[in-house]
Amino acid sequence: MNGETKLSPEGEAIAAYGTATMAAFRVLVACLQRNGVLQRGEFVEALELFLTAAEPEVDAMPLSILRNLRMAMLD
């Protein structure tokens, strides 16, 4: 999102919720990896498989959110 876009209060709340959710998943995955429960890249790979399989059956918005989560996990 560029600096010129002005969100409504509801849009700001939704954006903040999304950012917090992404951060929580990143922390969770990092903790699981640190404890040896999850191998590096395992979550991202599983998410990619799910996205590929679910694409015909799932609405575009949830798929978009999951793709954004996957991209955030690649950083």
Structure tokens at 64: 């978009």
pLDDT per residue of the chain (75 residues) written in tens, 0 to 9:
555 688 899 999 988 998 898 899 889 999 999 999 999 999 999 999 999 999 889 898 888 888 988 988 887
Domain assignments of the chain as residue spans, ordered by start: 9-74
Compute the distance between CA of residue 10 and CA of residue 15 in angstroms, rounded to an integer. 9
Q: What is the per-residue DSSP string for 20-74?
A: HHHHHHHHHHHHHHHTTSS-TTHHHHHHHHHHHHHTTTS-HHHHHHHHHHHHHHH
Predicted confidence (pLDDT) per residue in 42-57, tens digit: 999 999 999 999 988 9
Q: What is the pTM of this model?
A: 0.72
